[in-house]
Amino acid sequence: MGTILDVNTRRKTQEPAAAPAPKAPSRSQTPATKRVFIKTYGCQMNVYDSQRMADVLAPIGYGLADSAEDADIVILNTCHIREKAAEKVYSELGRIRQTKEKREAKGGAPMTVAVAGCVAQAEGAEITRRAPVVDMVLGPQTYHKLPEMIAQLARQDGQVLETDFDTLEKFDELSIDRDVDGFAAFVTIQEGCDKFCTFCVVPYTRGAEVSRPVGQIVAEIRALAAKGVKEITLLGQNVNAYHGAADDGSTWGLGQLIRHLALIGGIERLRFTTSHPRDMDEDLITAHGDETKLMPYLHLPLQAGSDKILKAMNRGHTYAEYRDLIARIRAARPDIALSSDFIVGFPGETDEDFEDTMRAVEEIGYGSAFSFKYSVRPGTPGANLPDQVPEDVKSARLARLQDLLARQQTEFNQSLIGKTIPVLVENVSAKTPGQLFGRAEYLQGTHFMGGPELVGTIVNVKITDAGRNSLSGDLA
């Protein structure tokens, strides 16, 4: 049982354990009488967590609302990775306060406002102080307790806060019966991080590295496959550090897990994100070569090209080590496309260091990438480093880097013109009659003409045109 803090009085009250929520009946048996609106910020794991919060609320009668105005509960599932992301939450809470007041003035049912995710974990009671409209604060490891928290809120005045860390307890409590939307799904297999890169809040907001047991992951993916899911993206803050317990008591790495998941009937495609170069072991590299269901696309963040900056970031490898690793991965799977994250303007980054990043990008060649200006995160070692880089210098560096990355992305997409590639058809275009939309192995959205019966299947498409973000072609 987590600590319950009555944030109004700042008095810690250790409540007796609340009665466990009744075992969830299947969603179809429970008519939705109330509505929840969940707004998700940040990474794919937050997308997954939001889906799971909806799953947890369905058995107690909550259906999804299309907007905050229609909702009995509004949940902001927040991101703390950069300052901008965290600040967005407070401006959104201002808007929600107005929506809540309007709804209640019109005689509507009261609205409960919850802040979940990493801002909740990092800032806790501070949120309820800055935004008194907030009724509940729950960290990423406690969303399975939502029904309990709602019941508690109904019993007491004040605000409810749950920010315990027990990742495995959360997964034990969650039902594997998930609502499915489409043919591709995320599955969290690992959470937290022990790497402590000096810029990053994740080890503080998501806690230490924890891997879900193999059996639990297999059960969740089997259930998804039974509902028609064909593509699974395995999620973790540091997913290739996966070391989960198998049924026979042994510990499996990610390569072994992927080979096993590839045997599940109906699953045609597997992906994983996000990885750390230091955890790319031989077995996982080999799996890229011999496991045909593992997609030829790898997100492997480099962050910076200068060894001095990599060291200051505590990444634990040099640029040459990264480059050699990429060479080994490409030797195992020559058609692999690479993606990365980059940070410009880390404290102490000189023009020369930044040129090392530009050179690294030129040398490696990425199919896509994310890049950011360094954002000071209080509580991380980077925040206290001397030689913080001025904002205008960061902006100029980011613009140059993003130009280069955009050019590489377009070139990569254009290199597919004339090739016939498999595409998982996701839906029928709402705008162009007769057009289908799907995802290529390299994740680009792909448009082509075809019948609605192809939705949910993998078809071959000959690519005829390519832009920066999408491809188009003809059924082959």
Contact residues for ligand 5AD (CB under 6 A)? 81-82, 199-200, 301, 303, 341, 343, 372, 374-375, 377
Asked if residue 275 lies in contact with residue 236, where contact means CB atoms within 8 angstroms, the answer is no
What lies within 8 Å, CB to CB, of 421 at 6+ separation is 440, 441, 446, 460, 461, 463
Asked if residue 189 lies in contact with residue 234, where contact means CB atoms within 8 angstroms, the answer is yes
Shortest Å distance, C-beta 206 to ligand 5AD? 12
CA angle in degrees (0–180, nearest 5) for 174-179-180:
130
Shortest Å distance, C-beta 374 to ligand 5AD? 5
**Side-chain half-sphere of 274: how many Cα atoms within 13 Å?**
15
Picked from ligand SF4, ligand 5AD, none, the partner binding residue 82 (CB below 5 to 8 A depending on kind) is ligand 5AD
The smaller minimum CB distance to ligand 5AD, of residues 165 and 346, is found at 346
How far apart are alpha carbons 372 and 303 in whole angstroms?
Answer: 9
Shortest Å distance, C-beta 452 to ligand 5AD? 37
How far apart are alpha carbons 135 and 127 in whole angstroms?
Answer: 10
Q: Which of 197, 210, 300, 401 binds ligand SF4 (CB under 6 A)?
A: 197
Closest C-alpha among 194, 188, 196 to residue 216: 188
The smaller minimum CB distance to ligand 5AD, of residues 301 and 367, is found at 301
Q: Which of 193, 218, 270, 421 binds ligand SF4 (CB under 6 A)?
A: 193
Q: Verify binding: residue 203, ligand SF4, rule CB under 6 A.
A: yes
Picked from ligand SF4, ligand 5AD, none, the partner binding residue 237 (CB below 5 to 8 A depending on kind) is ligand SF4
Q: Verify binding: residue 462, ligand SF4, rule CB under 6 A.
A: no
The smaller minimum CB distance to ligand SF4, of residues 89 and 193, is found at 193
Q: Verify binding: residue 371, ligand SF4, rule CB under 6 A.
A: no
Stretch that binds ligand SF4, among 123-131, 195-203, 363-371, 404-412 (CB under 6 A): 195-203
Structure token digits, residue 302: 């480099």
Picked from ligand SF4, ligand 5AD, none, the partner binding residue 333 (CB below 5 to 8 A depending on kind) is none
Shortest Å distance, C-beta 44 to ligand SF4? 13
Using CA atoms in the order 116, 122, 125, 126, what is the torsion angle rounded to 10 degrees?
-110
The smaller minimum CB distance to ligand 5AD, of residues 147 and 277, is found at 277
Furthest CA-CA distance within the chain: 67
Picked from ligand SF4, ligand 5AD, none, the partner binding residue 139 (CB below 5 to 8 A depending on kind) is none
Q: Verify binding: residue 200, ligand SF4, rule CB under 6 A.
A: yes
Residue nearest to ligand 5AD (CB): 341
Shortest Å distance, C-beta 301 to ligand SF4? 7
How far apart are alpha carbons 366 and 468 in whole angstroms?
Answer: 13
Residue 418: is it exposed, middle or buried by C-beta count within 10 angstroms (0-12/13-18/19+)?
exposed
Alpha helices by DSSP H, 159-317: 167-173, 202-205, 214-226, 254-261, 282-290, 307-312
468 vs 83, 410, 436, CA distance in Å?
28, 4, 19
Shortest Å distance, C-beta 174 to ligand SF4? 22
Shortest Å distance, C-beta 111 to ligand 5AD? 32
Q: How many residues bind ligand SF4 (CB under 6 A)?
A: 10
φ, ψ of residue 291 in degrees (nearest 5):
-100, 100
The smaller minimum CB distance to ligand SF4, of residues 40 and 303, is found at 303
Shortest Å distance, C-beta 237 to ligand SF4? 4
Shortest Å distance, C-beta 53 to ligand 5AD? 21
Asked if residue 187 lies in contact with residue 220, where contact means CB atoms within 8 angstroms, the answer is yes
Stretch that binds ligand SF4, among 172-180, 193-201, 246-254, 393-401 (CB under 6 A): 193-201
Q: Which of 114-147 are b and which e, b meaning 16 or more Cβ less than 10 Å from the residue's Cβ? A: bbbbbbbbbbbbebbeebebbbbbbbbbbbbbbb
Stretch that binds ligand SF4, among 105-113, 189-197, 218-226, 413-421 (CB under 6 A): 189-197
Structure token digits, residue 406: 């955009």
How far apart are alpha carbons 5 and 7 in whole angstroms?
Answer: 5
Bridge partner residues of 191 (DSSP): 210
Picked from ligand SF4, ligand 5AD, none, the partner binding residue 446 (CB below 5 to 8 A depending on kind) is none
Shortest Å distance, C-beta 318 to ligand 5AD? 18
Asked if residue 136 lies in contact with residue 153, where contact means CB atoms within 8 angstroms, the answer is yes
Q: Verify binding: residue 195, ligand SF4, rule CB under 6 A.
A: yes
| Interface map 231-260 toward ligand SF4 (x if CB under 6 A) | ------xx----------------------
Bridge partner residues of 298 (DSSP): 338
The residues that touch ligand SF4, with contacts defined as CB under 6 A, are 193, 195-197, 200, 202-203, 237-238, 276
